[in-house]
Structure 1
Amino acid sequence: MSQNLQGGDRLRPVDLARRHGLSTQAVRNYEEAGILPAAGRSPHGYRAYTPLHASALRAFLALLPGYGHPAATSVLQAVNRGATGDALRIVDESHAQLLEDRRTLRAVELALRDLDPVRRERGDTFVGPLSRRLGIRPATLRKWERAGVVQPRRDPRTGYRVYGEADVRDAQLAHQLRRGGYRLEQIAPVIAQVRSAGGVAPLESMLRDWNARLSARSRAMLSGAAALDAYLECRGE
């Protein structure tokens, strides 16, 4: 960038800030962080921005809702240091994570749906019967317990693990998700959500909200990618 700018190309920090509802200090902070290219200087030595900086700022702010602050920052920093390939890789990784989130949601929806026709036993059950019912080893249930996926109580007289109806439901859901390829550390938060909701039925609204958030994030990513593409065009890339 030329160090001496023509008046028609020059934007003051306040000009850039006002257009986006920011403070001038925020604009300077973005420049110092590498989110904006280094500013040129006016003949009197004042910091001066150009339409290129305005495009960079638009791209960053557009990326934030869909990609998040760390990824948006890394993308702009990479572009500004000439590593466009690195920036596009970060974009691709964010889209891959969104796809994985959609797959997780679908797996949860299917797992919850598949719980409905499963026969419910009356009363409590123990490790052996439950493991046979699910077609897994008793050691697997104990591993799930250590991971916080199931939380059976202990019989005060014998010390045996006792699985109530809610515990059986949690084990069934965990089994469905494990069959879908999900790890225990991914499953445990879902089971915790089921417990806090008081069962499966109240989760329907949560799943709708989850789906809506993913759709909103996907749309935000489209807008962010378009603004990033415009910035790359502005840079001549």
Structure 2
Amino acid sequence: MITLRPTDLAREHGISTQAVRNYERHGFIPPAERTDTGYRIYTEVHAAALRAYLALVPAYGYAAGGRIMNALHRGGLDEALTVVDRGHSQLLRDRDTLDAVRTAVTHLTAEPQSAPDPAPGSRTRTVGELAHQLGVTTATLRNWESAGIVTPARDPVTGYRVFRADDIRDAELAHLLRRGGHLLDDIATVVQQVRTAGGTDALAASLDAWQGRLTAQGLAMLHAATHLNAYLALLDRADGADAGGRGDA
């Protein structure tokens, strides 16, 4: 069996030996055996565990990567795979949301922009009419207004909310993003980009950057899967060797 020192594991990834010890303490790599003088002894199993964990981080995040490794080290393979499955499911939702935003922005920004003070007969909605159109409650629209997502005017006579074309566009976009699971603060940021960009290159660049992040994450998941599979294979071999040794005893 090849034995390794903390510095050997650390050097491969350009990290400190203290980081390796921290990962061991947190259960991201298995516990190391010790020499009689107390020095840690690592093996290729530990090296593979470290490669797997560090590959999981850009794919699923620090917290999820830690949960996956912790689950494996207590024998919870299905628990670990569930975390992996959730990560893939979230990435798919993010992709669907991005596609929906691209479609919505292309459609909505292509519409003629309404004037600040629309003339009579232009496309407007009351809060009830817009809620019915989107299939949401009027309380939902008021929450979006509080978050700065929609900014309806007020009828000077009745004081009721009046949603103009720009407000309807923003509400439609918000509705798409909410269905994608995004928080109101994040939606407010996207809607503000739509308002300020006005269909120019700034908004397109923002969506392209979002696409790039999703692509990078998808590739990271493929990379992590390779290292995770290699680690599981080593664990299986190590378990088999232990079982064989116990059988000969």
Query: TM (normalized to structure 2)?
Result: 0.77
Classify the secondary structure of the residue corresponding to 1:60. helix
Tell me: CA distance 1:130–1:86, structure 2 relative to 1, closer, same or farther (3 Å).
closer
Aligned to 2:244: none
Classify the secondary structure of the residue corresponding to 2:236. coil
Amino acid at match of 1:97: Q
Matched, 1:236 2:248: no
Q: How big is the shift at 1:104?
A: 0.8
Cα deviation digits, residues 5-44 of structure 1 (max 9, x gap): xxx6221212221222111111111111000101011243
Aligned to 1:151: 151
Amino acid at match of 2:22: N
Aligned to 2:186: 189
Aligned to 1:227: 227
Match of 2:65 among 72, 75, 91: 72
Amino acid at match of 1:33: H
CA contact (8 A) 1:127 1:138 kept: no
| CA distance in structure 1 between the partners assigned to 2:134 and 2:228 by the alignment | 51
Matched, 1:57 2:50: yes
CA contact (8 A) 1:40 1:47 kept: yes
Matched, 1:19 2:12: yes
Q: How big is the shift at 1:225?
A: 1.0
Aligned to 1:3: none
Aligned counterparts, 1:63-212, within 5 A? 63-116=56-109, 118=111, 121-122=114-115, 123-124=117-118, 127-128=125-126, 131=129, 136=133, 140=137, 143-147=140-144, 148=147, 149-154=149-154, 158-174=158-174, 177=176, 182=179, 186=183, 189-197=186-194, 198-201=196-199, 202-212=202-212
Tell me: CA distance 1:135–1:114, structure 2 relative to 1, closer, same or farther (3 Å).
farther
Pairwise CA RMSD of aligned residues? 3.1
CA contact (8 A) 1:12 1:48 kept: yes
CA contact (8 A) 2:28 2:66 kept: yes
Structure 1, unmatched stretches of 5+, are 1-7
Q: How big is the shift at 1:169?
A: 2.6
| CA distance in structure 1 between the partners assigned to 2:163 and 2:79 by the alignment | 50
Q: How big is the shift at 1:135?
A: 5.9
CA contact (8 A) 1:40 1:49 kept: yes
Classify the secondary structure of the residue corresponding to 1:236. helix
Amino acid at match of 2:21: R
Tell me: CA distance 1:183–1:89, structure 2 relative to 1, closer, same or farther (3 Å).
closer
CA contact (8 A) 2:52 2:231 kept: yes
Q: How big is the shift at 1:223?
A: 0.3
Tell me: CA distance 1:99–1:199, structure 2 relative to 1, closer, same or farther (3 Å).
same
Q: How big is the shift at 1:79?
A: 1.1
Query: TM (normalized to structure 1)?
Result: 0.81
Q: What is the aligned length?
A: 226
Tell me: CA distance 1:61–1:152, structure 2 relative to 1, closer, same or farther (3 Å).
same
Tell me: CA distance 1:158–1:183, structure 2 relative to 1, closer, same or farther (3 Å).
farther
Structure 2, unmatched stretches of 5+, are 238-249
Cα deviation digits, residues 37-77 of structure 1 (max 9, x gap): 01011243321111110110011111111111001111111
Aligned to 2:39: 46
Cα deviation digits, residues 140-177 of structure 1 (max 9, x gap): 455313233322133566533244553233134345x2
Tell me: CA distance 1:82–1:140, structure 2 relative to 1, closer, same or farther (3 Å).
closer
Q: Which moved more, 1:8-17 or 1:58-67?
A: 8-17
